[in-house]
Structure 1
Amino acid sequence: MTHAEFLNYVEHTHGAIAKAKPLGVKRYVQNHVIDAAFGVDADNAYAQSFHKDSITELFFEDAPGLIRTFSDPYTQQTVGPDARNFADLSEQLAQLMDELETASTATAPLPWKVMILLKKNPAMALDRFFDAWDAAHESITREQPGFQNALRRYVRSRYLPEGDKVTAYFGPNINVYEGASSLWFENEADFSFFRQYQRALFQKLAEDGVALTSASFFAYVKEVVIFDHCS
């Protein structure tokens, strides 16, 4: 598949299959990747190939709804098997996360979104990773007024290890990113402020031994809402 063929299939064909029987999913968002970068500028030895086409977000009200959805015959026999028609199953990553919106000045949907996925340093305790990440974000935001003024909405999500039994649905040895954040802007030109922030964030987290920034990445995405039963 070309990237465009993939996006067309995942939105209109796979999206329609999921929409036909949402089960416990309250909101289903596809984030179609426009552009992305993996690793850090100083990592001259980096050799891993990388490409992601879309990042899916599924929202649930509670754990029973989540478990019911992934154990339902419709998911097991219809939604799941369709992934073979468009996805490289060997390159999937999945995690259960809780999210917190910590900043928002938006009064309407915003067209420009970036997602960051962070890989924790295995030697770092999970709670220490979360605290250090939040502190780095806050300090860098204060130090960069251009970024602070351009950022319209910020949501950060934290990995919940207890979800591994559910995400095992996607297959064995699924890759996990312990931190994820979504940032929204009004204008594409604001991405230059984001890039300054992202470089500073990755540098800070690497210097402090918090994250494996060579295995972390960000992606500029187009947010496509397949359905929203929360509003």
Structure 2
Amino acid sequence: MTALAQSHCVHPFASPDTAFAQPNRAMLKVILVPRRNPQMTRPQFFDHLTNHHAPLVKSVPEFTRFLKRYVQNHTRLPAEGADCVTPYRRATDRDSVIELWFDDADGLHRGLAEPRYQELIRPDEARFNDLSSLIILATRESGGLAADGQPSDCKLFDVLKRRNDISREEFAVRWERHCDLLQARGLYRGSVRKMTRNVVVPDDVNPFGHAADFDGVMETWLGTFADAGAIAKLQSEDQEVAESLARFVDRAGSFSLLAVERPIINAPAWTSA
């Protein structure tokens, strides 16, 4: 977990009142995309995430009784074996993607209000993150693709911003249609192990109390990191796919990350630890 209790320097909770299982669309999924504390190197950051913060979170049952799943994703840079093209701007300045599942917003608020979360976990979050630049999104999984059933921990995250002339509702509809189009392409099916769409919740039910900076996160499991290049090529060179994408995504405002998945709590059976 990372810096859950702070976003854009504003504490949103100052007064906290199977192999390819189908997504639980009712469950709240919080996605965080932080930068590391600038005083840390990347190896120090990942060491802290793996060997200190994850065990710390697991040691606080008062909080983890509300946390249904917890997955860390450690980003990989071109110099670290992930030298390939991505569908959108490569955000090499982001160091991880953290995924946290709660039953609902009430469970999230109750977990963050626990005294031992406030005493132990929250202070540690500030030690290894740059809280001023944190991206934090409340989402719900909304369908996806189970392509071949083979385990993989290589992941592509596309953090999507919608065109400013369409609504969030229209964005979600066009995104779903676009994914159907992708799945009809053999190149896509041959590159993807699994895909999930994470749709940002509407502003009026956003537990963080402010409008989200992005509208969705496309989460794709790959055979190898090089498969990200095949997806990028498909979305730029296949005219029908490219035109579909242009109908709902602000490409300049979106970005991609490549990462290795590290499940921490209640990992699904198809992932590799």
Taking structure 2 as the reference length, what is the TM-score of the superposition? Answer: 0.69
Partner of residue 217, structure 2: 180
What residue identity is the alignment partner of 1:60? Answer: F
Using the alignment, how far apart are the partners of 1:71 and 1:38 within structure 2? Answer: 39
- Kindly indicate whether residue 45 of structure 2 is the aligned counterpart of residue 6 of structure 1: yes
Using the alignment, how far apart are the partners of 1:16 and 1:29 within structure 2? Answer: 13
Structure 2 unmatched ranges of 5 or more:
1-39, 79-84
* 2:198 maps to which of 143, 146, 157: 157
Query: Which deviates the most, 173-182 or 221-230?
Result: 173-182
Using the alignment, how far apart are the partners of 1:125 and 1:229 within structure 2? Answer: 34
- Kindly indicate whether residue 132 of structure 2 is the aligned counterpart of residue 76 of structure 1: no
2:94 is paired with a residue whose SS is coil
Partner of residue 163, structure 2: 121
Partner of residue 147, structure 1: 188
- Kindly indicate whether residue 227 of structure 2 is the aligned counterpart of residue 190 of structure 1: yes
Identity %: 22
**What is the deviation of 1:183?**
0.9
What residue identity is the alignment partner of 1:131? Answer: V
Using the alignment, how far apart are the partners of 1:175 and 1:100 within structure 2? Answer: 18
- Kindly indicate whether residue 135 of structure 2 is the aligned counterpart of residue 97 of structure 1: no
What residue identity is the alignment partner of 1:222? Answer: V
Partner of residue 265, structure 2: 227
Change in 2 beyond 3 A, CA 1:100/1:109: farther
Using the alignment, how far apart are the partners of 2:262 and 2:105 within structure 1? Answer: 24
Using the alignment, how far apart are the partners of 1:11 and 1:129 within structure 2? Answer: 36
**What is the deviation of 1:40?**
5.1
**What is the deviation of 1:10?**
1.5
Alpha carbons 2:87, 2:229 under 8 Å: kept:
no
2:136 is paired with a residue whose SS is coil
Q: Tell me which protein shows more helix as a share of its residues.
A: 1
Using the alignment, how far apart are the partners of 2:171 and 2:189 within structure 1? Answer: 23
Using the alignment, how far apart are the partners of 1:126 and 1:114 within structure 2? Answer: 23
Change in 2 beyond 3 A, CA 1:197/1:59: farther
Change in 2 beyond 3 A, CA 1:175/1:195: same
**What is the deviation of 1:84?**
1.6
Cα RMSD over matched residues?
2.9
Change in 2 beyond 3 A, CA 1:184/1:200: farther
**What is the deviation of 1:75?**
2.4
**What is the deviation of 1:229?**
7.1
2:163 is paired with a residue whose SS is coil
2:179 is paired with a residue whose SS is helix
Alpha carbons 1:31, 1:54 under 8 Å: kept:
yes
Instruction: Give every structure 1 segment of 4 or more consecutive aligned residues whose post-TM-superposition deviation is greater than 3 Å.
Output: 35-41, 105-108, 197-207
Structure 1 unmatched ranges of 5 or more:
42-48
Change in 2 beyond 3 A, CA 1:204/1:23: farther
* 1:19 maps to which of 25, 45, 58: 58
What residue identity is the alignment partner of 2:122? Answer: G
Deviation per residue, 1:47-85 (Å, 9 max, x gap): xx8610001000112333222112222223321221221
**What is the deviation of 1:158?**
0.6
Alpha carbons 1:39, 1:216 under 8 Å: kept:
no
Alpha carbons 2:225, 2:258 under 8 Å: kept:
no
Query: Which deviates the most, 73-82 or 152-161?
Result: 73-82
Taking structure 1 as the reference length, what is the TM-score of the superposition? Answer: 0.80
Aligned length: 217
